[in-house]
Structure 1
Amino acid sequence: MPAADVTSSSRAHRRPRPRTLGAAALSLALVVGGLTACGAEDTAQDDAEALATKIAEGLVDGDFTGVAFSDASPAEAAEAHAAIVAAVADAPHTVEVTDVVLDEEKTSGTASFAHTWDVSGIPWTYSTEAPLAVFEESWESQWDPALVVEGLVSDETLQLSRTMAPRADILGAGDTPIVTERPVRRVGVDKTRVEATELDATARTLAGLAQIDADAYAAKVAAAGEKAFVDAVTLRTEDPSYDFDAMAAIPGVLLVDATLPLAPTRDFAAPVLGRAGEATAEIVEESEGTIAAGDVTGLSGLQRQYDEQLRGTPGIALEAVSEARGARVLLDQAAVPGEPLRTTLDVGVQQLAEDTLVGQTVPSAIVAIRPSTGEVLASASGTAGGGVSTATTGMYAPGSTFKIVTSLALLRSGLTADSPLDCSAEAVVDGRAFVNYPDYPAGKIGQIPLTDVIANSCNTALINASGQVTQADLASAGEALGLGLAQQAGPGVFTGSVPADAEGTEHAASMIGQGQVQASPMAMATVAASVAAGTTVRPTLLAQEVDPVESDLPEAPAAPLTADEAAQLSAFMRAVVTDGGGSFLQDVPGEPVGAKTGTAQYGDGSTNHAWMIAVQGDLAVAVFVETGDYGSTTAGPLLEAFLDGLA
């Protein structure tokens, strides 16, 4: 570690003199004193202080080289010191020389030390003293365990025990527990209970039942020690997809009952919530002593992001222990339970979103927001995404769902719902031809009002109108609907990106949600929520006060959405259902639905992202499927099923 500044205090009439010591071998902080003397007494005082400084160094790093003890060699002192502090050897420790007082003859005296430890986040302070004396014109001290720890005697060593604090729950709307302690079974092979010749077969049989890689687990068992219990997998006790009785019947296999903080199901909001488990070596190292091997910590998602809040503070018991005297308590701190993390997720709505996505073979997502508050009720990502939070971090061209943004920009340019636009069979910009989707209704070709353009999703009409708004106008309209704003605290969210500078074909493509325009399902649900709320919405997934997220993105739009603008956009979305591509939503129970379909070509242009956004009362929804046919035919049925399920 780098050298530390050396400070201390001496008798009041002496002027402090700073001194710098070298790095401590155990990377522990060291603060010692630069004590001064005056006149003819300088040499004796300085020599005594130098010895005190070396003792202080040794009390931190265990190296007493250069320290003269009358009753022990430096090596013997180092060995005794190491045995005493072994239990707290990794804990940060500082030592300050607070005083060096000599007798009148300047041949003996006492050095005083102030010790400060950080034992798993708990401060431990005390003072010790060392006798100093001149022997054959050199200063020396005496070795004593009480120099290391106040009151310690020769046969005592330190013993540290930790008690994990109860890990707090992650709660949903109405403080409904989402992640809470649930029963699990640790399944593995106890190598003491099976013959060595049978180990490989045992491991492979268990791997088959546990649905894990047989070769990898057999190798893990073979490499473990002769008396090891080798974990195979930890499973939910109630999981019906595993035959626990068959596992237990295998000779040498043990099933150990335990609990872990888990969501209702394995897939429930998994990419957002993350998971907790035994701390990795990296987490232990980064914790600087607050987390120990074997502790349960957050490993990903919100579990990791808010681990300090959730895990609480472990209980600490530090004792001086000897065979003859037993144990006496030096430091005792009860465990402090973690604090629950409150989220806005509605358990029923989230589960419905998860169930709706079952069977999707490509990444997919459903996001539901309460527009009046911005609360995220559901953030579901299909399992085909491989654990990635498609709902919050996916970056995709939003296609025609972006036409809500485009229509806002056109309204701000002076157009009205009745303004006629040219919905031609083809629109050409800088030599690139843009066309409408196959089966576009022939009756909606030609001069049609803006309402019909949005309801029927006419690409060419908006391409032909691209000269009426700039790319900056599109970016401003996107911000007004929540795109590209700084995210709220919580899990990472891609809030969308609408370049403010683009011309020609890039600007034309932006008009229909392609080109360089990108959004996540959360971002497009925010667009719908802003329309429903009548003001710019910034979605939140946490229902508690937390520090804001540092971001270079704006917190609010430069030109916020107005209630009148939102009312017109809401009418456009309703027209999609009454007169356009979302007519299948007319029979959804409950309040009237407004929607917008979206299809965005990607790759070589032969494959499509399928989107749909919708509003119904105080609900905004975005549905996304990475590869599909069209928004209405691929995302549409999922949206309909989701809204029906909420009815």
Structure 2
Amino acid sequence: MTDVAPLTGPGQRPVGPGRGPTRKAPRVVVAAGLALALAAGIGYAAELGPFDPGPAIPDPEATKQARAFLADWEAGHMSRAAALTSRPEQAERVLNSFTAGLDISGPKLTPGAVTAGEDGAVTVAFTAKMPVTELGTWTYSSAVPLRKQDDGTWKVEWALSLVHPKLSATEKFRLEREDTAGPEVNDRDGNALSSEKYPSLGPLLPQMAGGVRGGPRGAVRLVDRATGKVKATEASFGKKSDRPADRPVATTLDATWQAAAEKALAAETDGKDAALVALRIDDGEVLAVANSPSSGFNRAVSGTYAPGSTWKIVTTSALLLKDAVAPGDVVDCPKYLTVGKRFQNVETSEHRGATFRKDFTTSCNTAFISLRDKVGDEELGDVAGKYFGVGQKWRVGIPSYDGSVPTPRDQTEKAASMIGQGRVQANPLIMASVTATAVSGTFHQPTLTSGGKDTTRTTPLPREIVTQLRELTRATVTDGTASILADLPGGVGAKTGTAEVSEDAPNNGWFVAHRGNVAVACVVEKGVTGGASAGPVVRSLLGAVPDDPS
């Protein structure tokens, strides 16, 4: 039970009778005056016309200050946010106490309507979405009051009610968690899974249990500061399970594969952030999901990365589906190709007069970019969604990011999309699934637990396309950039990838592979090249587990 207890201190011009010699003149003036008065009355009634000053127009500088305050609060820069207020010390203390005491991380504060009061004050409404760790998101509305200072600047007029309308000198919030022992989580063969034995599963076990059982439960209560009495419940999280408490949760994971994946990441990544997923090709069941570091963010399933040249599996599928190229066609591979910006191959390699098969196995960026006019602007995204399920809603059993392939905004971005750059985003789960679909022809939604409804809709790849993709990935191992797997038995196929992050940071390294009924994908952040960084991880995994699970 955690308390959040910041404390605070407390008309018309008159018309003359006229001087004309006749009596009609005054009547005309009076009539005109009456008409004017009536018109004015109508104007007042409708709040229109020259006598209504209209609503005050908020000073844009006030809005700018409110937005800056919300942005700093959202980013966790409490001292900077507090400095924009009329009471910096109290503001910083309350903001820190509110956020830490309620286990809030990554708040989202969205500015809304702006109003100006008759006294010159400005109010900016906002919506707060407060993620409470391991429970859910608490959403509410509040407002930022601002007042102009003597020097002409604007300051946030600090008040507890700014943070939440019900936070006051007499009432505060308290986070209550229900102490529920999580159910046992087992692998596909009934072996118990624990974070002690499989560190990468530490953050995932509660999620996998929660997807089947009620999951963590708790509430944000409004309480009296003096007595601690609950006045109201502001947010409730989780639900009670109707399943027997002693019934273990079954997963698709394989303890042998999970252990090998953890070991491969620990041994082969030189301490770099990395992630790996292995899954069954015939049904999408996940055998292993591992992250390095093992605690914290699940980059294997929820990460958002440019997949680099591993995405050329999808690009190749789009080209083959249109009969725009054949593996034996000559598609030149120069060192550079300029499409708005200069693109190049890894280590500025070139293969003049190369066939498309050579371009694939050596991962030639310039050759693939040169074929961009063979596919429509939306076609790469359409193929990714229609055949590979990328971008559709997946129900894996834990929170997942399911990919994005936006329509390119210009030719430069289209060129980048052809090689898995630009705004194309994926993660190891997606790329393992892409590999499995490419070599089997059929997309199977990846799953970690049973019971998740599959709402995806895809079309199988034509058999001749699958045959060509299998031949190309196999040739990448025997004659191309994935030769690190060449000594492994089982007709292994693979594709390497190098993904540019920024001009200042080293590239991420990617590697996808398939053997028998298993597809694997690995990313190593700042790994420079896929073959040199992610390749050894996949080699270690496949070498340690020679037999596919039944």
Equivalent AA in structure 1 for residue 282 of structure 2: S
Whole-Å separation in 2 of the counterparts to 1:306 and 1:165:
11
Tell me which of 326, 342, 346 is aligned to 2:254. Answer: 346
1:397·1:600 contact (CA, 8 Å) conserved in 2? yes
Q: Deviations over 1:495-540 (max 9, x none)?
A: 2111134431000000010000110110001111112322123211
Tell me if 1:471 matches 2:368.
Answer: no
Match of 2:30 in 1: none
Whole-Å separation in 2 of the counterparts to 1:643 and 1:167:
32
Q: 1:167 to 1:467 in 2, by over 3 A?
A: closer
Superposed, 1:447-462 pairs within 5 Å as 447-462=353-368
Match of 1:488 in 2: 395
Tell me which of 394, 415, 433 is aligned to 2:342. Answer: 433
Equivalent AA in structure 1 for residue 219 of structure 2: E
Whole-Å separation in 1 of the counterparts to 2:509 and 2:239:
36
Whole-Å separation in 1 of the counterparts to 2:344 and 2:422:
15
Relative contact order, higher structure (CA 8 A, sep 6+): 2
Q: Deviations over 1:590-638 (max 9, x none)?
A: 3111000000111225410100000001010001111112000011111
Whole-Å separation in 1 of the counterparts to 2:180 and 2:311:
48
1:532·1:617 contact (CA, 8 Å) conserved in 2? no
Distance apart, 1:357 and its partner CA: 1.0
Question: What's the TM-score, normalizing by structure 2?
Answer: 0.59
Distance apart, 1:488 and its partner CA: 2.0
Superposed, 1:523-534 pairs within 5 Å as 523-534=430-441
As a proportion of its length, which structure holds more strand?
Answer: 1
Match of 2:190 in 1: 175
Equivalent AA in structure 1 for residue 197 of structure 2: T
Aligned residues: 346
Larger radius of gyration: 1
Tell me which of 518, 521, 531 is aligned to 2:428. Answer: 521
Q: The residue matched to 1:500 in structure 2 has which SS? A: coil
Q: Deviations over 1:461-493 (max 9, x none)?
A: 011111111231111222212322221241011
Whole-Å separation in 2 of the counterparts to 1:342 and 1:618:
21
| Identity, % of aligned positions | 34
Match of 2:315 in 1: 406
Question: What's the TM-score, normalizing by structure 1?
Answer: 0.50
Whole-Å separation in 2 of the counterparts to 1:428 and 1:506:
12
Q: 1:307 to 1:632 in 2, by over 3 A?
A: farther
Q: The residue matched to 1:495 in structure 2 has which SS? A: coil
Q: 1:274 to 1:355 in 2, by over 3 A?
A: farther
Whole-Å separation in 2 of the counterparts to 1:364 and 1:643:
17
1:165·1:338 contact (CA, 8 Å) conserved in 2? no
Tell me if 1:376 matches 2:283.
Answer: no
Distance apart, 1:382 and its partner CA: 0.9
2:198·2:259 contact (CA, 8 Å) conserved in 1? no
Q: The residue matched to 1:174 in structure 2 has which SS? A: coil
Tell me which of 494, 513, 517 is aligned to 1:614. Answer: 513
Tell me which of 416, 428, 442 is aligned to 1:535. Answer: 442
Whole-Å separation in 2 of the counterparts to 1:433 and 1:598:
19
Match of 1:555 in 2: 456
Match of 1:570 in 2: 470
1:166·1:338 contact (CA, 8 Å) conserved in 2? no
Equivalent AA in structure 2 for residue 376 of structure 1: V
Match of 2:299 in 1: 390
Whole-Å separation in 2 of the counterparts to 1:306 and 1:378:
27
Distance apart, 1:266 and its partner CA: 6.2
Equivalent AA in structure 1 for residue 332 of structure 2: D
Show structure 1 runs of 5+ residues with no match. Answer: 1-163, 180-262, 288-304, 313-335
Whole-Å separation in 2 of the counterparts to 1:309 and 1:566:
43
Q: The residue matched to 1:446 in structure 2 has which SS? A: coil
Q: 1:307 to 1:350 in 2, by over 3 A?
A: farther
Superposed, 1:47-58 pairs within 5 Å as none
1:268·1:351 contact (CA, 8 Å) conserved in 2? no
Match of 2:532 in 1: 633
Q: 1:466 to 1:596 in 2, by over 3 A?
A: same
2:437·2:444 contact (CA, 8 Å) conserved in 1? yes
Whole-Å separation in 1 of the counterparts to 2:476 and 2:503:
29
Match of 1:582 in 2: 482
Match of 1:269 in 2: 201
Equivalent AA in structure 2 for residue 373 of structure 1: D
Equivalent AA in structure 1 for residue 472 of structure 2: F
Match of 1:499 in 2: 406
Match of 2:48 in 1: none
Whole-Å separation in 1 of the counterparts to 2:198 and 2:388:
34
1:481·1:536 contact (CA, 8 Å) conserved in 2? yes
1:596·1:614 contact (CA, 8 Å) conserved in 2? yes
Superposed, 1:214-293 pairs within 5 Å as 263-265=195-197, 267-274=199-206, 283-285=217-219
Show structure 2 runs of 5+ residues with no match. Answer: 1-178, 211-215, 222-236
1:488·1:540 contact (CA, 8 Å) conserved in 2? yes
Whole-Å separation in 1 of the counterparts to 2:541 and 2:188:
19
Equivalent AA in structure 1 for residue 476 of structure 2: V
1:271·1:381 contact (CA, 8 Å) conserved in 2? no
RMSD: 2.9
Whole-Å separation in 1 of the counterparts to 2:199 and 2:400:
19
Q: The residue matched to 2:490 in structure 1 has which SS? A: coil
Whole-Å separation in 2 of the counterparts to 1:437 and 1:556:
36
Q: Deviations over 1:290-322 (max 9, x none)?
A: xxxxxxxxxxxxxxx997449x5xxxxxxxxxx
The ranges of structure 1 where at least 4 consecutive aligned residues each deviate by more than 6 angstroms after the TM superposition are: none
Whole-Å separation in 2 of the counterparts to 1:601 and 1:166:
44
Q: Deviations over 1:109-141 (max 9, x none)?
A: xxxxxxxxxxxxxxxxxxxxxxxxxxxxxxxxx
Whole-Å separation in 2 of the counterparts to 1:165 and 1:467:
57
Whole-Å separation in 2 of the counterparts to 1:535 and 1:283:
38
Equivalent AA in structure 1 for residue 320 of structure 2: L
Whole-Å separation in 2 of the counterparts to 1:406 and 1:284:
46
2:309·2:498 contact (CA, 8 Å) conserved in 1? yes
Whole-Å separation in 2 of the counterparts to 1:356 and 1:364:
11
Whole-Å separation in 2 of the counterparts to 1:517 and 1:380:
23
Q: 1:307 to 1:171 in 2, by over 3 A?
A: farther
Q: The residue matched to 1:427 in structure 2 has which SS? A: strand
Q: 1:286 to 1:372 in 2, by over 3 A?
A: farther
Equivalent AA in structure 1 for residue 285 of structure 2: E
Distance apart, 1:439 and its partner CA: 6.1
